[in-house]
Amino acid sequence: MAKSTSAASSTYPNKHWRDHFDINLFAALRVSRAALPTLIQRGGAIVNVSSIGAWQPAGPPLAYNVAKAALKAQTSSISHAVGL
């Protein structure tokens, strides 16, 4: 993964963004989706680990923080959509 800097997001290579989103968002999405049928049937909760960057995504490391903000929104959205 490319090292994060405080440079403008337009200077980050697409691979940098993809790597951060693959690890910090899409991995959790895949696990959540796989667990949903059991969670809905038996009850439970989706718990994902985020960071302070989810609430302050503009600071460095930018791609990581934006991915964590997306994770926060994704977790909440799935939970509300299926009533967990």
What are 10-26's pLDDT values in tens digits?
788 999 999 999 999 99
Where b means 16+ CB within 10 Å and e means fewer, 38-54 reads ebeeeeeebebebbebb
Residue 3 has pLDDT above 80, yes or no: no
Predicted confidence band of residue 58 (pLDDT cuts 50, 70, 90): confident
Listed by start position, the domains of the chain span 13-82
The pTM of this model reads: 0.80
Distance CA 4, CA 65 (A): 10
